[in-house]
Chain A
């Protein structure tokens, strides 16, 4: 890797840092209960909740830190936080 001039970088490299490894609790999204409101996606500080083709939402476990905001704020209680298995 060549050093940049003056400590600069172009976008993308933060994705090398797989923050999913931080998790203690892991969210599970129950699409049966989901109303597709998108609150989970809006409120995720990692921006790692993504809409799938059917309009339901899923977390990207590579980056999900397991903070639990999505579970706490889901109006349908469709997200459960379970202990991460090591």
Chain B
């Protein structure tokens, strides 16, 4: 096999993502870390749509899109074929949260249970963005989407995020991690580790969506950082099912994060919803305790 070339631009300019798109940045960073000897399996969604309107493709690595829910099954077939042909390319799945948490569950569960050697990157923008912002299993509590809108009878999405990393760790995935485009070096490191760990590995990447969450494109990285600093997103690694590394923070109140995005606006206007904000704070507090993210400041 040709030598793996890493660090080069394998996701080209001219794609049609919104200005400031977190997912587009994720595509760039992940393929940079993966290198040239990579086959990408992309599910239907924003990334696939903004990168491949025929005849324009932004991908400089071999790439395949089949359907919304079956990237894991397609990857299973590619892995089998490469094995038989004696080829060493790495397989990288790139799928959104809708494709991963919801419609793709069956295929993912089967593929992880069978233990195929691939890396599954979920770019998590916390809703079905390509179809115009609908609620998915990854949508956070109280977030406004078009299928979980706030109103006189509702504060938005009624359920917390599904714990996909835990589900896949339970399948025996040897390496599971969460990452964020806010910390590109960390993301690249985790992608490399996942690719070099035999078996089905999973990296869930937080990618704020300016269009879907309601903020100015220039704030994408800042908001990704706030998600981590408030404890609503935790960056961690799991090796063989056990949490091994966690990003610690000096925690900020969740409000600092919520008030930056229109999808949480209804928690502040027309009236401040203290009970709802407290519930969200409790989610962050639980995350903090579960993963041990709080930096213990020395008392003077």
Contact = CB atoms under 8 A, between A and B. Distances in A.
Contact of A72 (B22, B52, B54, B219): B219
Nearest to B207: A45
A69 B218 contact: yes
Contacts of A22: 19
Given A14-B15, A45-B25, A47-B11, A68 B59 contact: no
A85 interface: no
Interface string B45-70: 00000011011111110000000000
A69 B24 CA distance: 13
B218 A19 contact: no
A14 to B, nearest CB: 4
B14 A68 contact: no
A58 B82 CA distance: 40
Nearest to A71: B218
B57 A15 contact: no
A4 B17 CA distance: 24
Given A9-B55, A65-B19, A43 B12 contact: no
Interface string B5-17: 0000101111111
B19 A66 contact: yes
Nearest to B15: A14
B13 A63 contact: yes
A48 interface: yes
B218 A11 contact: no
A45 B52 CA distance: 16
B137 to A, nearest CB: 25
A54 B58 CA distance: 28
Nearest to B220: A69
B219 A11 contact: no
A77 to B, nearest CB: 13
A79 B73 CA distance: 45
Given A15-B14, A42-B184, A46-B13, A68 B56 contact: no
B199 interface: no
A32 interface: no
A60 to B, nearest CB: 7
Interface string B216-236: 111111100000000000000
B262 interface: no
Nearest to A70: B218
A79 to B, nearest CB: 10
Contacts of B60: 11
Nearest to A18: B14
Contacts of A14: 12-15, 51, 56-58
B193 interface: no
A4 B52 CA distance: 14
A4 to B, nearest CB: 7
Interface of A: 1, 4, 7, 9-19, 22, 42-48, 60, 62-63, 65-69, 71-73, 81
19 contacts: A4-B54, A14-B12, A14-B13, A17-B14, A17-B16, A19-B14, A43-B25, A45-B25, A45-B220, A46-B13, A46-B15, A47-B12, A47-B28, A48-B13, A63-B14, A68-B216, A68-B217, A69-B217, A71-B218
Given A47-B9, A68-B216, 13 more contacts: A4-B54, A9-B56, A13-B55, A14-B14, A16-B14, A18-B14, A22-B19, A44-B25, A46-B13, A60-B13, A65-B20, A67-B218, A69-B220
